[in-house]
Chains A and B, each alone.
Chain A
Amino acid sequence: MENIFRIIVCIKQVPGTTEIKINPQTNTLVREGIETVINPFDTYAIEEGVRVKERIQQSGEAAEVTAITMGPPQSESILREAIALGADKAILLSDRAFAGADTWATALTLKKAVKKIEGWRLIILGKQTLDGDTGQVGPELAHMLNIPFIGYASSIEEISFQKITVKRLAEDRYETFEVRLPAAVSVGKDINIPRVPSLRGKLKAKNETIPVWRAVDVELDEKDAGLPGSYTQVIKIFTPKHTYEVKMIEGGPDEQADELFKKLKQLSIV
């Protein structure tokens, strides 16, 4: 039985929304041409996973990082990105049955997949996604695996095969927890600065064969996955209506500054 410290990093593909355009006629978001990217926080998760691997290796032991995502077939591209950034392996969880999953069903699907991986000690996730941003999958997954979860880690102080010490930032204080492994941790941007992909990493990413696991491969019943397996359901999607009209303050800089000053005075701000 090999003694490898396996790290699993759960990542997600989200729309890249830095370029926002609003259709002036319909007042809605223009979605055509918006690319999909790896969830920004997941890049930090991958980097932390690779750093943990390097720390374990420095102590003379073997370690390995596996990136995993649950998503449509094109999510494969973020797994390749993860490999370019230092992940050793990747797994794509993809099945029509997974569609419409809420955080519970997502966590359950991930749990089933994780159970198929031997010797994992640590799961790392980005603290939230750009699209759902609930940050719930981590704690729910951890509970299903019966392992402790530490969220919003700002640094992993110590790591060994048995334990992990994590410092995290609550609203106004730092807390340092120690838990036994296996455990799960979520990270934000303050934990590290992700490396630039290496040339060898990119070449490996290009050539890697990434296995696709469907519901049957992880022994997940279709009724427990996706929308049927979810406890919450979206019943309506709509564009918010704005109940007030914006008042434009016109004129050159002098007039605008003056008008704004008067408004601020009216609001008793000055």
Chain B
Amino acid sequence: MHYFLSEEQQMIVDICRQIVEERIVPVRAELDEKSIFPKDIIDEIGKSDLFRLFIPEAYGGMGTGIFEVCLATEELSRGCLSVATSYAASGLGFIPIIVMGSEEQKQKYLPELAEGKKIAAFGLTEPEAGSDAGSIRTRAAKDGDFYILNGTKQWITNGGEADIYTIFAVTNPGRGARGVSAFIVEKGTEGFEFGKKEDKLGIRASATRELIFTDCKIPSQNMLGSEGMGFITAMRTFDQSRPAVGAQGVGVAQAALEVALDYAKVRKQFGVPISSFQAIQHMLADMATQVEAARSLVYHAAKVIDSGEKNVAKLSAMSKMYASDVAMKVTIDAIQVLGGYGYMKEYPVEKMMRDAKILQIYEGTNQIQRNVIALELIKRGVL
């Protein structure tokens, strides 16, 4: 399939493909069953320079764009969504530093993240604040040259495994979203602890934990931007990261489609392969078309973002929403094509379906995405 990739882009795909075949596929079922964080694989991903894709050259990155990040994320997702999520979530965790950080902050944190020596996590969601991110309660009270953090974050991907956390907390109560600021908090800081590790339906190898802040004292140099800039930081971050979530959807859908197709060609019923039945053929045709359409939308959004265009929120949200919906549909249909075998853990599709569901929920539920798209349409028009 020729997607007109440059040689360097093809190299990225080849490296990820090798990691998928040699490192991910042999162990993914076990990591999923036992909920084991894929540390060795993430290390390997780091050594292959794949975290550098997010980061500007001045800080040890490759100077590539979201397009390349999506290429890597899609390919890794074909292997296992837990691994891809751990990879993409680290990006989500340090993109705030890229969009809002000072020169000192970038020099301090990005190089090690680029090398893959450390990974990051994004801490926004709380028990009482999911879609309603503006009503987070974690408090960052100013105290001289420090801020004291108190509160709990919930369902944080890479929680416990990451070294660098971007935490959103209220610095100015009573101002709603405009009273939120973003901070860099390092693992090991006194007063920063981890709560339980969640037992999930899918992406089970991805580490999801509570972050608990109890009078956690952090220097004010760790604030990203100035007070009240937290929300904008988060929104700008999501604009960049959402296509990567879309890419995850494309990757897992592609993988499920491949399994369904191979199976349909081999499985015989009534004396013929089931791929000769029109019912199956139509399902496969729809699945393939959806994957192709999702892929086009994701990479189109990525290209627009990389071109420097400012108003990308709508396209970004569309790519995340559409591709994640496609992923859910295609993985469910893949199970249907495999019939009884699709339901068994012995075959990889049931895991793909369980994994795909999260894509419709995190980084802004698809309902929130639709809100974003609609508001952008109304504000700026169709194009």
Q: A interface vs B, CB < 8 Å? A: 195-203, 206
Contact = CB atoms under 8 A, between A and B. Distances in A.
Contacts of B346: none
B44 interface: yes
A199 B47 contact: no
B44 A199 contact: no
A202 B11 contact: yes
B23 interface: yes
B49 A196 contact: no
A196 B48 contact: yes
Contact of A196 (B44, B53, B62): B44
A199 B11 contact: yes
A189 B18 CA distance: 18
Interface residues on B, range: 10 to 19
A199 B52 contact: yes
A197 B48 contact: yes
Contacts, number: 39
Nearest to B21: A196
Given A202-B15, A203-B8, A195 B52 contact: no
B49 A200 contact: yes
Contacts of A201: 49
B382 to A, nearest CB: 38
Interface string B119-149: 0000000000000000000000000000000
11 contacts: A196-B44, A197-B48, A198-B15, A199-B15, A199-B50, A199-B52, A199-B53, A200-B52, A202-B11, A202-B14, A206-B7
Contacts of A199: 8, 11-12, 15, 48-50, 52-53, 62
Given A196-B23, A199-B53, 6 more contacts: A196-B15, A198-B15, A199-B48, A200-B62, A202-B11, A202-B15
B22 interface: yes
Interface of B: 7-8, 11-12, 14-15, 18-19, 22-23, 44, 47-50, 52-53, 62
Contacts of B52: 199-200
A198 B7 contact: no
A181 to B, nearest CB: 27
Nearest to A206: B7
A113 B31 CA distance: 48
A202 B14 CA distance: 10
Contacts of B47: 195-196, 198
Nearest to B11: A202
B21 to A, nearest CB: 10
Nearest to A197: B15
A197 B50 CA distance: 11
A196 B11 contact: no
A195 B44 CA distance: 7
A208 B7 CA distance: 15
A50 to B, nearest CB: 11
A38 B48 CA distance: 20
B262 to A, nearest CB: 19
Nearest to A194: B22
A148 B11 CA distance: 40
A169 B18 CA distance: 30
Contacts of A195: 44, 47-48
A106 B52 CA distance: 41
Q: Which of A195, A196, A201 has the most CB of B within 10 A?
A: A196
